[in-house]
A and B are shown apart, each in its own frame.
Chain A
């Protein structure tokens, strides 16, 4: 598997999903005080922010002409 530049969307989504999974795996008595609605809302905000940042970062890049198919020149 080849390394590539950090993918912020995948990272944010992975962290959020891992946190929710941990919430489900832990003893319910220990997580009783966690506000599930707040967790869900925060997850949506975090993933949305990552998607937004990723989209803005892509817009900032210049698409090289060499990306075009060879026959289109």
Chain B
């Protein structure tokens, strides 16, 4: 058939001829066309397609929407991320790609990330200049309630959405019902068709993921409220157990292979935490821990290097118990001890009965100080455990006065670890 004779049917956008494209039909009622309903544009998605969907509905450039979402999320602290996850869970998906909102690739996210990072730095700078103290926009991430409760909400939304997909699943199973009939007839093809339909549509995955998130968030919340004291390892293990049970059910009913990846990640987290707990237990044991890669035990103040100790990696015990009060006074005043470790565990054992002035920082990991001290502590990501306070999260800080030495019998500890742990104990 001659393509030029094909009659134009429909809107004209999808048909028409090469020589005489018909003008688009006037919108009904002579008004502007209605906006498309809000759907996640997964065909143009970088993450969940939320921004692309909003851009499509509002007829905006998707890059602008993405940048605006990042910038607007900043004052909301961690809630912005939770809001995005909630939108991801709630807004139905539309996989149709659109030319109006082309995929911009990594450039958009790099740009948006730089804008966000720069804004954070500006806000923190302004905070210092205008006397807001140690205000940090991301400090809510460190809160023991906001993030876990957010997990519970997202998990509940996943359950809700999984329940809502029951009707489409049933409707879709018309094909699989026919296939099931074929199974009764004994054809392997029907069995494969039915299994594939279930593979695509099984609700077991979102149900298990939602329940795991609710368990994780719920237990994390009760731990944060001091109702329980399970600890991070057991909480993560409980969430992992839910995913494992989902997989075991999925092995014989439904389908949930998608749980393998998040389960594997969570399993690595649990194993890592178990390993870290064991290392903590070893480091907090007897001073001369068998197997530590380095043991430093200065006998006198003169044995402490003026420039401090430096190690690239390993497990280090710095035993300062021989530097008792008398030797510190005899040395003529507060004695500085500096120690830097790149990766590993640094345990510092201090003598009893001396003043302590500690400034310590850990990039990623744990900072634990058991004895009372004038303390200034900072942890980039991880856990800060000092007398009277235990925090987990990002940008942890304990501001103290480390400038006033208590007199001669004082140790000035300046400790730094990149990735790992600092543990200060009293021997």
Residues of A that sit less than 8 Å from B by CB: 1-11, 13-18, 20-25, 28, 31-32, 36, 39-40, 43, 47, 61, 64, 66-67
From B256, B274, B281, contact of A24 by CB (8 A): B274
A-B pair count, CB < 8 Å, reads 128
From A6, A20, A47, A64, contact of B251 by CB (8 A): A6
Pick 17 A–B contacts, CB within 8 A, sort by A.
Answer: A7-B255, A10-B248, A10-B256, A11-B247, A11-B248, A13-B264, A16-B244, A17-B263, A20-B270, A21-B270, A24-B234, A24-B240, A25-B241, A28-B274, A36-B275, A47-B264, A67-B192
Residue in B267, B268, B274 with the greatest tally of chain A CB atoms within 10 Å: B267
B233 touches A24 (CB 8 A): yes
A7-B257, A23-B237, A64-B189 known; A17+B274 contact, CB < 8 A: no
A-B interface, 7 closest residue pairs, ranked by CB to CB distance from nearest: A24-B237, A14-B247, A17-B244, A14-B248, A21-B241, A18-B244, A11-B251
Q: Of all chain A residues, which has the CB nearest B234? A: A25
Residues of B within 8 A of A1 (CB): 202-204, 253-254
Is B352 an interface residue, CB under 8 A from the partner?
A: no
Contacts A8-B251, A9-B257, A13-B263 known; 16 new A-B pairs at CB < 8 A: A2-B198, A4-B194, A9-B260, A10-B248, A13-B247, A14-B244, A16-B267, A17-B240, A17-B264, A18-B244, A20-B237, A20-B270, A24-B240, A24-B270, A64-B188, A67-B192
Q: Mark B182-193, 1 if CB is under 8 A from A, else 0.
A: 000001110111
Within 8 A of A (CB), among B250-283: 250-257, 259-260, 263-264, 266-268, 270-271, 273-275, 277-278, 281
Residues of A within 8 A of B247 (CB): 10-11, 13-14, 17
Q: Of all chain B residues, which has the CB nearest A10? A: B251
A5-B195, A39-B271 known; A17+B253 contact, CB < 8 A: no
From A10, A15, A23, A64, contact of B270 by CB (8 A): A23
Q: Of all chain A residues, which has the CB nearest B262? A: A17
Within 8 A of A (CB), among B71-125: none
Min CB gap A30→B, angstroms: 12
From B191, B194, B278, contact of A32 by CB (8 A): B278
Min CB gap B215→A, angstroms: 11
Is B422 an interface residue, CB under 8 A from the partner?
A: no
Residues of B that sit less than 8 Å from A by CB: 187-189, 191-195, 198, 202-204, 233-234, 236-238, 240-241, 243-248, 250-257, 259-260, 263-264, 266-268, 270-271, 273-275, 277-278, 281
Given the complex of chains A and B, what is the CA–CA distance between A21 and B270 in angstroms?
A: 7
Q: Of all chain A residues, which has the CB nearest B254? A: A1
Min CB gap B282→A, angstroms: 11
Residues of A within 8 A of B236 (CB): 24
A17 touches B251 (CB 8 A): no
A20 touches B271 (CB 8 A): yes
Given the complex of chains A and B, what is the CA–CA distance between A40 and B268 in angstroms?
A: 8
B233 touches A17 (CB 8 A): no
Given the complex of chains A and B, what is the CA–CA distance between A23 and B198 in angstroms?
A: 32
Residues of A within 8 A of B243 (CB): 17
B241 touches A18 (CB 8 A): yes
Min CB gap B324→A, angstroms: 35
A66 touches B195 (CB 8 A): no
A67 touches B277 (CB 8 A): no
Q: Of all chain B residues, which has the CB nearest A61? A: B188
A24-B233, A24-B234, A25-B238 known; A36+B257 contact, CB < 8 A: no
Given the complex of chains A and B, what is the CA–CA distance between A24 and B244 in angstroms?
A: 13
Given the complex of chains A and B, what is the CA–CA distance between A24 and B263 in angstroms?
A: 14
Given the complex of chains A and B, what is the CA–CA distance between A3 and B237 in angstroms?
A: 28
Min CB gap B208→A, angstroms: 10
Min CB gap B137→A, angstroms: 33
Min CB gap A37→B, angstroms: 9
B188 touches A36 (CB 8 A): no
Q: Of all chain B residues, which has the CB nearest A32? A: B278
From B237, B240, B253, B271, contact of A36 by CB (8 A): B271
